[in-house]
Amino acid sequence: MVWNKVLIVQTLKKLHKQGVDLSYNRLAKRQQSLVSASAYHFGSYRRAVEKAGLDYAEITRRPRWSKQAIITQIKKGRRDGHDLNWSSITKRRDELGKAAFASLQPRLFGSWDRALHAAGLDADEVNRYRKWDKNTVVFDLKARAKDGSALNSGALQEEDPGLHAAAVRHFGGYDKALKAAKVDPQSVRRRRSWTKQEVTAALKVMKRTGKHLSDSVVRKENSALYGACVRLFGSFTTARNASGVKVARKKA
């Protein structure tokens, strides 16, 4: 990605709305290119944050999310009568919405359903309240495919039973729903189960064949590998570092 001032500001605003921790050290681990480009174009990362209209002091004070903090937000949302299904929760821009995004981190719960269970709620019951239709089913299946998330029937029933049930209900079968989302059911069934060793080996092969192992390139060209990096190592950068592959930094 070629960064410029406008894109940097837009990205920082977007990440902030999603509840991403924008403190320097945390973001550098997650998206080093953005931090480097910010310093290059604005003179410092702090100036870039302020140019995005954000309070840098507040960002540096922001505590890291913990499992208990997320559970507290879920229970409060339940008491206040908020809709806790994933589709609704991710539209929120308050602490509850931020807690939802934070819950996806591998060090915390890894999924929103697991966070709901930890808070004493039945994720299946919560998901039933979502108003599914063919369009929303296709949208969510495409989103999972793009992220490199598991799409085989068994994995989806475990991770998002509401989506799986809706796919079968609205399309008359899960394979038909996959086809509507432009996903080949056979390729889904053949989806490999990655190990850390296989991930690092695949990254080394990509490097040897001349591929540029930037976050954006791997996510675009091999979403399955990218998803495995995030699931098994917590982030793509961590997986790349574990493989011993070094990538030359490009000036933005």
Dump pLDDT digits (tens) for 52-99: 998 887 777 655 678 888 999 998 888 877 878 887 888 888 888 888
Looking at the structure, tell me whether residues 104 and 90 fall in a common domain.
yes
Looking at the structure, tell me whether residues 71 and 124 fall in a common domain.
yes
Q: What angle do CA 17, 221, 21 make, to 5 degrees?
A: 20
- Decide: 236 and 219 in contact? Cβ < 8 Å: yes
What is the band of 9 on the pLDDT scale with cuts at 50, 70, 90? Answer: very high
Q: How many domains does the chain have?
A: 4
Q: What angle do CA 121, 118, 92 make, to 5 degrees?
A: 70
pLDDT tens-digit profile of 221-245? 777 788 888 888 888 889 999 988 8
What is the band of 12 on the pLDDT scale with cuts at 50, 70, 90? Answer: very high
Output the pLDDT for position 182.
Answer: 92
Looking at the structure, tell me whether residues 57 and 74 fall in a common domain.
no
Last residue of a domain, one of 128, 156, 174: 128
Looking at the structure, tell me whether residues 76 and 120 fall in a common domain.
yes
Residue 202 pLDDT exceeds 90: no
Looking at the structure, tell me whether residues 171 and 224 fall in a common domain.
no
Last residue of a domain, one of 150, 171, 189: 189
- Decide: 9 and 48 in contact? Cβ < 8 Å: yes
Domain that holds residue 75: 67-128
Q: Decide: helix, strand or coil at residue 109.
A: coil
Average pLDDT for 38-62: 84
Output the pLDDT for position 252.
Answer: 43
Average pLDDT for 32-61: 86
